[in-house]
Structure 1
Amino acid sequence: MSSPVLKRQLGFWVALALAVGTTIGSGIFVSVGEVANASGTPSLSIFAWVLGGLIAIPQVLVLAELSTAYPENGGGYVYLEKAGFRPLAFLYGWVSFFALDPPSISIMALSLVSYAALLFPVLGGIWGKFLAVAIVLVLAAMHYRSVKEGGVFQVLITLVKIIPFVVVIGLALGFMHPENLSFVPASAKGSNVMSSLMSGVSATTWSYTGMASVCYMAGEFKNPSKTLPRALLGSTIIITVLYTLLTIAVTGLMPFDKLIHSQAAVSEAVSFIPGLAAVATPFIAISAMIVILGSLSSCVMYQPRLENAMAKDGLFFKLFGYIHPKYGTPGYSILLQCGYAIVLIFLADLRTLLGYFTLVMLLTNIMMYASVIFCRKRPEYTPMFRMPVWPLMTALAILGAAWMAWGTFIWAPIEGLIAALVVCATGLPVYFYWEKKKKQGQSPSTQA
């Protein structure tokens, strides 16, 4: 009797919802003000969001080609491995599991509860942590039991999470002050336009990360040659338009000198709409909870696919390669990843730790985009989608990833380098051990 495998049963709308739902998170409620402050003027702030979306396009084009050449689960791990960077591919998955993916689930669950605490203060303490655990458990159970039902939920929650932004944009059209869009602060007069624009674009970059999530599940989408490129490019266009319109709306509602100092730009903008000032806080709290829930669900859905793919290659704990015979999901990988996230919920300062290890992942992403150069030289490389002007697109994708890595390095250079050393010191011995076991015809045990 053959072992159960993950089946291609998801369509385009699930892929699009996964990409959009992962990318649009709670950060957009704050980043509109951060980008405005970095840009210096309303016009540059708006253009920064447009340019930030354009910069993301080369990256999704590279991913579209790689994902149709290797339409299997695992994302960057697969592309690095196929390009011949097997140790680096392993480290990609190693740092993803232990330092990035489960911590991100924990952070999102706690962020969701922090917004709930604005409405129910009792959730500000230990009860909030228990609620965060409950949310993770519910999502884990849903994605454990059914890929299709998880996909349907992802489509629905993504549609719902866009509604609050559409409401703000729509209401702003009737109440915005056009003069706000042409206002130039005294501090911006005489400043270098290009430098200000680049600062603004840099502040947008994190808001555009997440579209690659569909590549983690490339082996479960029907007709990947069309589904994956359309989802990657479509999500980039949708998100760019949404962010740009939201920035225009917020800028038109709020005086710019207030916007550049705002830590909750969307919330404060709602208070400038007549009749909504009294409900601004609950409106944003509920909106943020929905937005975060969508991102959290997508992470619980796609992240375990990476470790599942690695386990099948003999490069991760054997349990993670288990496929449930009835539900057709990577059951243990989902449960173990969410279980690890639940443990982390009760720890402190995860966000800072996540920032330190992000540098490692960004450096690996540079190699992931570069891997297309090496993959194209392989005789079996036959992608169903080929990006136009591929040398230029690849170079731009690498530069975009390098830009983000440099920004992260400047933020915490010593901590980031230490994190990189920790990843190599812990991961490489395990990698060589498992490679040795594989050559001997064995699989990694469930022991650490």
Structure 2
Amino acid sequence: MTANSPLQRVGQEKGIAMGSQELQRKLGFWAVLAIAVGTTVGSGIFVSVGEVAKAAGTPWLTVLAFVIGGLIVIPQMCVYAELSTAYPENGADYVYLKNAGSRPLAFLSGWASFWANDAPSLSIMALAIVSNLGFLTPIDPLLGKFIAAGLIIAFMLLHLRSVEGGAAFQTLITIAKIIPFTIVIGLGIFWFKAENFAAPTTTAIGATGSFMALLAGISATSWSYTGMASICYMTGEIKNPGKTMPRALIGSCLLVLVLYTLLALVISGLMPFDKLANSETPISDALTWIPALGSTAGIFVAITAMIVILGSLSSCVMYQPRLEYAMAKDNLFFKCFGHVHPKYNTPDVSIILQGALGIFFIFVSDLTSLLGYFTLVMCFKNTLTFGSIIWCRKRDDYKPLWRTPAFGLMTTLAIASSLILVASTFVWAPIPGLICAVIVIATGLPAYAFWAKRSRQLNALS
């Protein structure tokens, strides 16, 4: 049977087991949208408004940077939407690169994600929640680490026991994280000061004109808009992916764009722009300019941050193990990661082991900080994924249920915007980034050779 035969596509669409127990399609549109939005709206927005303001140099360019930054993501989501409807299965980038004809690249993308992104991200978010909790009450550092570990364990149990239950929680927590931002926007409109837009007093960092300042601002928004494609890791568990995936991917992008733009607008109008551009905590600082909040602004932001990061942590615990599950099903990773719980119908072992590794990183925080240098590898992986659609379209069996409009333009924009992020990441840490790329290749290729040989042996026996 071919990689995308009619029989297999029917099985993928309906969640029918193809020779072994498979995860079932239980997630509807609203749950998928909540996962996409919940993953994207994270702790980054609490600092990115100030970073964008510093880069852009004026209030209007700050707001415009968030608008364009969000619009730039739409072509990327269109590419993901097409690929996810062509291959409606779990695994995202791994699956798309594999079907584009490069199993080694597909494996390396999953290998890098598992060790340098997935588990470390759990520890970073759990510790960030504890850090905000420490703003409300003093916490012993060691106790804080155990609290962070407890958070990961709690979400492991939630998402291990039920996909529907996890999705319901994700929907509720996403609504809960948007409510405080809505309150900030509402209060910001009421206390908005137009004079803060009339007299900006800063110069864009590294920019010599409005156009270059705008580009710098757009670049600074990039990380705030990452996360929507997380739902592609769970495409194999989404009902009617041909309709749900495009709507959820593009819809989440538009929702986040509106939210971020309104936040940037009201924050720029609440406080003098020179203070905003030099603020490391822009939302918290902006709220101190609202008489109704005053000294309670810090408490409000700390509670909001905990809710926001809780939602992101829950989302990551839910979707990330699906990558290793997909690799294990192809016999390209530890076999145990492909296990499906007979009662709960979840990738239980993958969830447990990734959570355990995340807890390990909590107690080895210095190592976690070093893993940030693998960002260059992860950005380049995304660029390869956007390019993979060109090779996929050349396949005779490539039959997506949704196609990217203006394909040439959209694909070019997706690749170009991703390359810009690669370049900016390389400038941030060129030598460490290259060293990490070498580490991924040096460890990943031997691992791939081992599992590829094992996979061929298993296929020969079957």
Distance in 2 (CA, whole Å) between partners of 1:186 and 1:258 is 9
Residue number among 62, 67, 78 corresponding to 1:45 in the alignment = 62
Query: CA 1:188/1:8 → structure 2, altered by over 3 Å: closer, same or farther?
Result: closer
Residue in 2 aligned with 1:127?
143
1:219 aligns with one of 233, 236, 256: 236
Q: Are 1:76 and 1:365, in contact at CA under 8 Å, matched by a contact in 2?
A: yes
Equivalent in 373, 391, 415 of residue 432 of structure 2: 415
Amino acid at match of 1:328: N
Contact 1:19/1:231, CA 8 A, preserved across alignment: yes
1:252 aligns with 2:247: no
Picking from 396, 412, 432, the partner of 1:395 is 412
Superposition deviation, residue 430 in structure 1: 1.0
- Corresponding residue of 1:163: 179
User: Which of 339, 358, 361 is 2:356 aligned to?
Assistant: 339
CA shift, 1:4, in A, is: 2.4
Map 1:98-113 onto structure 2 (within 5 A): 98-113=115-130
Between the aligned partners of 1:166 and 1:351, the Cα distance in structure 2 is: 33
Q: Report the Cα distance in structure 1 between the residues aligned to 2:200 and 2:300, rounded to whole angstroms.
A: 30
Matched residue type, 1:142: L
Query: 2 CA distance for matches of 1:355 and 1:6?
Result: 32
**Per-residue CA distance 1:215-244 (angstroms, 9 max, x = gap):** 000000101011100000000000000000
- Relative to structure 1, the CA distance from residue 186 to residue 117 in structure 2 (aligned partners, 3 Å threshold; closer, same or farther) is closer
> Is residue 432 from structure 1 mapped to residue 456 from structure 2 by the alignment?
no
CA distance in 2, matches of 1:115, 1:317: 36
Identity rate, percent: 57
CA offsets, 1:275-302, max 9 Å, x none? Answer: 3112111100000000000000000000
1:384 aligns with 2:405: no
Q: Distance in 2 between matches of 1:186 and 1:134?
A: 44
Residue in structure 2 matched with residue 243 of structure 1 by the alignment:
260
20-29 or 181-190: which moved more? 181-190
Asked whether 1:116 is paired with 2:120, we answer no
Give the superposition deviation at 1:84.
0.4
**Counterpart position of 2:101:** 84
Contact 1:42 1:183 in 2 (8 A): no
Secondary structure at the residue paired with 1:328? coil
Q: Distance in 2 between matches of 1:35 and 1:249?
A: 14
How far does residue 353 in structure 1 lie from its aligned partner after superposition? 2.2
Match of 1:179 in 2: 195
Matched positions, count: 442
For the aligned residue pairs, the C-alpha RMSD in angstroms reads 1.5
Q: Which moved more, 1:355-364 or 1:44-53?
A: 355-364
1:351 Cα offset (Å) = 5.3
- In structure 2, C-alpha distance between the alignment counterparts of 1:219 and 1:279, rounded to whole Å: 45
Residues 158-198 of structure 1: per-residue CA shift (max 9 Å, x gap): 00001111000001111110111222326369940111000
TM-score for the superposition, normalised by structure 1? 0.97
Of 223-232 and 347-356, deviating more is: 347-356
Change (3 A) 1:186 1:412: closer
TM-score between the two structures when normalised by the length of structure 2: 0.94
1:152 to 164, 168, 173: 168
Q: Is the 8 A contact 1:4 1:324 kept in 2?
A: no
Q: Which residue of 2 aligns with 1:446?
A: none
Give SS of 2:228's match. coil
Q: Distance in 1 between matches of 2:136 and 2:332?
A: 45
Matched, 1:35 2:52: yes
* 1:180/1:168 CA distance change after superposition, 3 Å: same
Aligned partners of 1:269, 1:252: CA distance in 2, in Å?
A: 9
Q: Is the deviation greater in 369-378 or in 114-123?
A: 114-123
Structure 2 unaligned regions, length at least 5: 1-16
Q: Decide whether the 8 Å contact of 1:311 with 1:320 is kept in 2.
A: yes
**Deviations 1:336-378 (CA, angstroms, capped at 9, x unpaired):** 0000000000112355323211111111111100000000010
Unaligned runs of 5+ in 1: 444-448
Match among 294, 299, 304 for residue 277 of structure 1: 294
Residues 314, 438 of structure 1: 8 Å contact kept: yes
Checking the alignment, whether the CA contact within 8 Å between 1:104 and 1:354 is kept in structure 2 is: no
Counterpart for residue 317 of structure 2: 300
Q: Which residue identity lines up with residue 7 of structure 1 in the other structure? A: Q
Structure 1 position 442, deviation (Å): 6.7
CA distance in 1, matches of 2:246, 2:27: 15
SS at match of 2:394: coil
* Aligned match for 2:154, one of 133, 138, 155: 138
Q: 1:423 to 1:221 in 2, by over 3 A?
A: same
Query: Do the aligned partners of 1:43 and 1:182 also contact (CA within 8 Å) in 2?
Result: no
CA distance in 2 between counterparts of 1:186 and 1:23 reads 29
Does 2:357 align with 1:370?
no
CA deviation map 1:76-134 (0-9, x unaligned): 000000000110000000011111110011000000100000001124x1111000000
